[in-house]
Chains A and B, each alone.
Chain A
């Protein structure tokens, strides 16, 4: 939480435009000052830079811009701009900047880039295929037509995801509904001058695009749900791959998926271990998954002693501990 006041008291100066712009600039500075300590503290206290590495920051920035650019292209087409590319190009940075101030949206992009980084690390270190895991392979070949269909879709979506992450892209069709709504509201706030009609038709067209392509996260959920009582098989990183593992973990531990993704970081060891316990893994199985992620870390002894219900209660007591 920051301590920035919502607005500087109007009484100081209220009448001039110059003041307004100065005030906005000052507020930005305030924001930077107020985040100085937590950011610095984080870096001083952790050896691991993976949450804020240059690559992650660049990827998040790229995703914000990519999402903005894609929306603005639709806007340009609806307006009938001569050069839709130039139109979108000229406005994408501004929208991306605004989007970066939305904590929820930003958090989602950050989680996706962490997930990609994790998949890439598991590939190079443990030989775990980021696209086609053994579990997914067996599900595609399964006799259950619905499950096999979901698994096939997941495979294609996962291949797209890896590709998009390499290119730092964020297609609108891949956004979960909640983040899509956030995005649209940020855009509407910034482009107040657009008529409701126009904004409506832009949104309708994008919603159509979204309906035509089932998002990866929804396919992953469908696959995890299709496993039903056998969902435990997906709680192995090596067998299920990071994507399906994380969806299943979030679902079974009652966590937000984005939080589950970030909990794979080595500063979140306890959260990760508690989630595994809450999802129903035994202490030995929990230790095995932990070791797969952090070969050098040892599991805190207390983890073996908490029950599944305790683990869940502990997680829920954390402000980030449960799905919305």
Chain B
């Protein structure tokens, strides 16, 4: 039987922790809030890994997940450790297919309800307020909120804002609840930053029956010594240290702007809603930039090396086309991948080639007109095998072609996402595999990016 080709590999240990993972699984793990090494943060995957390990049986499953912007559907094979008993060794995971598609559009009401439910579940302090925002009852089990709890429960009947400091507000409190909902809150005795949620009760006037107050912390309560230990292991790194710090405030900006955009906190003019949409887009762009910076750090590190293998470029190209098919369909763009049965042997690292192709095809989708075609073609000459991506977009002039592979180069584009790192990273990856990434283009006639890597055995 033919050996299964995997897009990516990962390994877990005897405690179902993810100890090593290739992209795109590594990124998904991080976006789900996990670490590597760390407990598997993708719920369906964790369940299946546990099952495979306990039963010591190989499993193939479709895993569904949500990475914060896309719905992921991936077929994974989970193989219990081949050295003896998997209950002691953990499993290896092979990813066979990987599809990302935008999540279904949620009604604003549903989104708001879901957000409230999530905040309710995450809140570490719950209080019930009367219509004038005075505390009727309070409940918490958080260690660092004990002083606050004591002050509140000894002074029931006082306005809740008397017990906390509202960030950046000099106004006489309490303000109208809509202005206090989502406020940043500082609490004496707690080192954490908090967000307040006010959920109005009563119909038809919200708040006529009082409010639920939730306090949600910006991070879980971990003892400080533990946090220091983890940091002290080695020097700072963008991927490990900066990414989580940056992601969080940006995610909040996006979430809050989304709230304004969808007018959840009350009616506003259309132009303001449009401004908020711009903020959302800019925030999401920042998020993808942060992810790219993590990649950048990897490709620029001294120890970075590709792991070449005998692969078939036709196979990689077909997979890249499959993964991006849904996004292309949204713009009615056709991706013409090499036909079934085509083959172009090469010596390169499968997932790195895939990463480059995803970047190239993704760019092509972004900059091509609706209804156009993107062609992925194969070729070879002597020592090199090629795969090229041709679009019917506006093309690039000579000056743009000279600088397009530069770090952070976006060719003067401002909107539409993109960090200006994708092509730079792709070129670095091509070099690391002993190949290159080049561009042929004329303004008005589209662009063709060609990845060349060492050729493989013709026998393959």
Contact = CB atoms under 8 A, between A and B. Distances in A.
B35 interface: no
Given A129-B209, A132-B210, A163-B126, A155 B201 contact: no
Interface residues of A, number: 12
A152 B201 CA distance: 19
**In this complex, which of B136, B138, B156 has the most chain A Cβ atoms within 10 angstroms of its Cβ?**
B136
A127 B203 contact: yes
B245 interface: no
Nearest to A156: B137
A155 B121 contact: no
A167 interface: yes
A132 B203 contact: no
B136 A132 contact: yes
Given A129-B201, A129-B209, A132-B128, A159 B121 contact: no
B139 A163 contact: yes
Contacts of A131: 128, 137
Interface string A135-179: 000000000000000001001100110010011000000000000
B120 interface: yes
A228 B156 CA distance: 27
B102 to A, nearest CB: 29
Contacts of A156: 137-139
Contacts of A132: 128, 136, 209-210
B121 A167 contact: yes
Contacts of B128: 131-132, 155, 159
A155 to B, nearest CB: 5
Nearest to B139: A160
Interface in B122-140: 126, 128, 136-139
Contacts of A129: 201, 209
A48 to B, nearest CB: 25
Contacts of B126: 159, 163
Contacts, number: 26
Contacts of A152: 156
Contacts of B120: 166
Interface string A249-262: 00000000000000
A155 B136 contact: yes
Interface string A115-143: 00000000000010101100000000000
B111 to A, nearest CB: 18
Nearest to B136: A155
B296 to A, nearest CB: 38
A21 B201 CA distance: 55
A132 B121 CA distance: 20
A223 to B, nearest CB: 14
A152 B138 CA distance: 12
Contacts of B138: 156
B201 A159 contact: no
Contacts of B139: 156, 159-160, 163
A6 to B, nearest CB: 32
A127 B201 CA distance: 9
Interface string B409-431: 00000000000000000000000
A167 B139 CA distance: 14
B212 to A, nearest CB: 9
Nearest to A169: B141
A156 B153 CA distance: 10
Nearest to A161: B139
A156 B201 CA distance: 17
Contacts of B137: 131, 155-156, 159
Contacts of B121: 166-167
Contacts of A159: 126, 128, 137, 139
Interface string A217-251: 00000000000000000000000000000000000
Interface in B109-163: 120-121, 126, 128, 136-139, 156
A152 B128 CA distance: 12
B4 to A, nearest CB: 35
B316 to A, nearest CB: 42
Nearest to B128: A159
Contacts of B209: 129, 132
**In this complex, which of A127, A160, A163, A167 has the most chain B Cβ atoms within 10 angstroms of its Cβ?**
A163
Interface string A33-54: 0000000000000000000000
B424 to A, nearest CB: 45
A59 to B, nearest CB: 14
A185 to B, nearest CB: 28
A174 to B, nearest CB: 13
Nearest to B120: A166
A142 to B, nearest CB: 15
A172 B108 CA distance: 40
B152 to A, nearest CB: 11
**In this complex, which of B126, B139, B201 has the most chain A Cβ atoms within 10 angstroms of its Cβ?**
B139
A127 B206 CA distance: 12
Contacts of B136: 132, 155
Interface string A13-39: 000000000000000000000000000
Interface string B333-353: 000000000000000000000
Nearest to A140: B136
Contacts of A163: 126, 139
A160 B141 CA distance: 11
13 contacts: A127-B203, A131-B128, A132-B128, A132-B136, A132-B210, A155-B128, A155-B136, A156-B137, A159-B126, A159-B128, A166-B120, A166-B121, A167-B121
Given A152-B156, A156-B138, A163-B139, 10 more contacts: A129-B201, A129-B209, A131-B137, A132-B136, A155-B137, A159-B128, A160-B139, A166-B120, A166-B121, A167-B121
Closest 6 CB pairs of A and B: A156-B137, A159-B137, A160-B139, A159-B128, A155-B137, A163-B126
